[in-house]
Amino acid sequence: MRNFFNNEFDPDNKEITKKVKQWVKTYFALPDEGCVVLVSELQCADEGCPDVETVISILMKPEVKVFKIGKPLMYVRTYDIETISKNYFTQNIT
Amino acid sequence: MMENKNSIPVTVLTGFLGSGKTTLLNKILSENHGKKIAVIENEFGEVGVDNELVIGADEEIFEMNNGCICCTVRGDLIRILDQLLKRKDKLDYIIVETTGMANPAPVAQTFWVDDEIKDKYSLDAIVTIVDAKHVWLHIDESAECKEQIAFADVILLNKTDLVSAEELVKLEKRIKSMNANAKIHKTQNADIDLEHILNIQAFDLDAKIELNPEFAVEEYPYEWMGIYDFADAEYQINMKEGPDPSFDLCFVKLADTSEAVITKAQKQAIKTFAMESKTLKAEKFINTNNTLNTLLIENESQTFYFRPHKAGIYAVFTQHGPEEFNLELTVKNTKNGVPTFENVEPTLTDEFAHNHEHDDIISSVGIEDTHELSIQKVNEWISYLLREKAIDIFRMKGILNIAGNDDRFVFQGVHMLFDAKADRKWKPGETRKNQIIFIGKNLNREELLAKYKKCIVK
């Protein structure tokens, strides 16, 4: 369960958000212009989902790509981003 | 939101087509406020003043979670906000105008989903303009119309010159029943002091959260009220079995029977009904001093007693209609050493619609109480609400009195996006109390209150 009032996820989230965005830009080879990356933490109500997951949205016209990582933002590492990018590129090639 | 002091405030302007949004926008832009304002609007081209930045948007909504309204944000808005940050001249304010048929949730959520956006922009308030004459065409049928009212921090009842005073009172009552926390301003031609709609910091956890003390006006947790003139004597309440295994009631002492005093007592009773109750078995004495009494109905027939803590006029509020339990009130008199019981009738009665009868409507549930809460239990409750009720709870906000902590705790939520923190120290002499408001659809007042009461430290 999250401890909402201790802000256990909050203090460093700004820095982590910046880092994760940079990793996403690198692994997905995104351009600096015309592309926005969003990093969010959501508490998912769906059965089987973890309590808190990290959602990465890449907004690049004409589409928005949404990826989920089944853990809180503070535990996201470069290999998570590498994995979702590899999966994405593999699926799009085949 | 825990925003940066240098963040750009954003006001979201909603309202049906023809309600007066464009008139208000033109007024904002043409006032000599010396601020650089950007307007992000949908009906591009309608508004435009020299030197102002007007940006067209296409209300592109995307979901971050499959089919859940709680996780929808405005993609076009994110792109525009990102672009605006790259401008050399800094903006002072942003106004986002939505189309008449828009649900405000994705716009509000856009400012909560990403820490960088939260840092650079601060959602100031949602302002909804309501056409006082034509809103009746939509208010019962249109989900968007209801959502726009429910989400608002400020509601402008515009075009009041086109309706009678009675119609206006009726509309105001209806709106308060849907969103008891919004500040309502009556306007003609959307004419309003901008200080009432801009920079009001409705979403700012750092600002002093002010919950509207009238928030519970149209939400009655009781079904019946009777006014009695009690003597300094022993009274007896006889009850039969009814639709519930218990029966809540409270007494409020009145100075007189004027309308103002009775209205005040009704509000007091709403608060008393939100307090923890004292459970009483048959043959026990009821507390008449602003206490919620839960009478256990365990037998076919039972009797409870009370002696008023002071003789005089009282309003008695009951959870159910007295006739549902064949309730009889008698006073004990002793003549020549022999006790007799005489029936006592109220001098005035009133009935109240019980909110759990209204399904699928938008309403507000307010809680105000001075008990200390367990931080762990509050966390469990909020987790449950976000997990199970986030679709139905549009907005919630509150101030909490946490046990063993000298800090005041505050929170805000829009659907499942939530922000909370320890705010400031309680001031010496300040009454430490909890004030919470939920606005949404299908809200179950009893369930919310029951779960709230479980957070109280015994």
Mind listing the pLDDT tens digit for each residue in B301-351? 999 999 999 999 999 999 999 999 999 999 988 878 888 889 999 998 887
What pLDDT digit, counting tens, does each position of B397-452 carry? Answer: 889 999 999 999 989 888 888 888 888 899 999 889 898 989 898 888 888 988 99
Is B15 part of a structural domain of the chain?
Answer: yes
Query: In whole angstroms, what is the distance from residue B348 CA to residue B403 CA?
Result: 41
Say if residue B241 is exposed, middle or buried (CB neighbours under 10 Å; 0-12, 13-18, 19+): middle
The domain tally of chain B equals 3
| Per-residue model confidence (pLDDT) at position A42 | 79
User: Which of B72, B73, B115, B455 to mutate: most A Cβ within 10 Å?
Assistant: B115
Choose the closest CB to A55 out of B64, B375, B378.
B64
Q: How far apart are the first and last CA of chain B?
A: 32
Q: How far is CA B308 from CA B237, B276, B328, B430, in A?
A: 13, 21, 17, 30
Same domain, B307 and B158: no
Q: Which of B195, B216, B237 is the last residue of a domain?
A: B216
- Helix/strand/coil for B195: helix
End-to-end CA distance of chain A: 40
Q: What is the pLDDT of residue B121?
A: 92
Rounded-to-integer distance, Cα B274 and Cα B278, Å? 12
The residue in chain B having the minimum alpha-carbon distance to the alpha carbon of residue A44 is B387
Strand B93-97 vs strand A36-43: parallel, antiparallel, or unpaired? unpaired
Q: From CA B396, how far away is CA B414, in angstroms rounded? A: 7
Chain A residue with the nearest C-alpha to that of B402:
A5
Task: Let me know whether B62 and B210 are in one domain.
Answer: yes
Q: Kindly tell me the sign of the dihedral angle through the C-alpha atoms of B110, B119, B81, B65.
A: negative
Does any domain span residue B2? no
* Token pair in block for residue A61: 């016209």
Q: Which positions in chain A touch B119 (Cβ < 8 Å)?
A: 14
Q: Domain check: are B69 and B159 in the same one? A: yes
Q: State yes or no: pLDDT of B4 exceeds 60.
A: no
- CA count, 13 A, side-chain hemisphere, B359: 0
Domain of B380, in residue numbers? 362-453
Classify residue B147: in a domain, yes or no.
yes
Q: Which residues of B touch A17 (CB under 8 A)?
A: 114-116
- B409 to A5: CB separation less than 8 angstroms, yes or no: yes
Task: Give B244's contacts (C-beta < 8 A, 6+ positions apart).
Answer: B297, B319, B320
| Domains delineated in chain A | 14-91 (3.30.920)
Inform me whether the pLDDT recorded for A94 exceeds 70: no
The whole-model pTM stands at 0.71
For residue B423, give the chain A residue with the closest CA. Answer: A5
Q: What are B348's strand-pairing partners?
A: B227
Contact between B282 and B186 under an 8 Å Cβ cutoff? The reply is no
Among residues B407, B409, B412, B398, the alpha carbon closest in space to that of B452 is found at B398
Q: Which H helix or E strand runs over B119?
A: helix B115-120
Task: Note whether B43 and B163 are same-domain residues.
Answer: yes
B211 found inside a domain? yes
CB contact under 8 A, B115 and A55: no
Residue that terminates a domain, selected from B216, B249, B275: B216
Taking a C-beta distance cutoff of 8 angstroms, is the pair B96, B11 a contact? yes
Instruction: Give the residue numbers in A contacting B (CB under 8 Å), as ranges.
Output: 1-5, 7, 10, 13-14, 17-18, 21, 36, 38-40, 42-46, 51, 55, 57, 59, 61, 64, 66
Which strand (E) or helix (H) includes residue B343?
Answer: strand B338-343
Instruction: Judge whether B357 lies within some domain.
Output: no
- List the structure tokens of B39: 């307007």
The burial class, CB within 10 Å (0-12 / 13-18 / 19+), for B278 is middle
State pLDDT tens for residues B206-236.
Answer: 655 566 544 444 457 888 999 999 999 999 9
One domain for residues B119 and B262: no
Phi, psi of B167 (to 5 degrees): -65, -35
Q: Is B95 a member of any domain?
A: yes
Q: How many residues does chain B have?
A: 458
Question: B177 and B50 in one domain?
Answer: yes
Contact check, Cβ <8 Å, A45/B390: yes
Residue numbers in A near B58 (CB within 8 A):
none
**Structure-token pair, residue B441:** 């659809």
Averaged pLDDT score across all residues of chain B: 85
User: B295 in a domain, yes or no?
Assistant: yes
Give the residue on A whose Cα is nearest the Cα of B408.
Answer: A5
> Residue A36 has which token pair?
């926005």
Of B322, B351, B380, the position where a domain reaches its end is B351
Integer Cα distance of B279 and B297 in angstroms: 11
**Higher-scoring residue by pLDDT: B70, B445:** B445
| Cβ-nearest to A4 among B114, B382, B416 | B382
According to DSSP, the β-strands at B183-186 and B154-158 are parallel
CB contact under 8 A, B375 and A44: no
> In angstroms, rounded to a whole number, what is the distance separating the alpha carbons of residues B346 and B230?
10
Mutation target to probe the A interface, by most A beta carbons within 10 A, among B62, B84, B114, B381 is: B114
pLDDT above 90 covers a percentage of chain B that reads 38
Identity of residue B124: D
Q: What is the pLDDT of residue B2?
A: 44
The answer to whether ipTM exceeds 0.95 is: no
Residues B417, B65 contacting (CB under 8 angstroms): no
Q: Are B114 and A38 an interchain contact pair (Cβ–Cβ within 8 Å)?
A: yes
What number of C-beta contacts closer than 8 Å exist between A and B? 81
**Record: contact A45-B375, CB cut-off 8 A:** no
Say whether both B342 and B396 belong to one domain: no
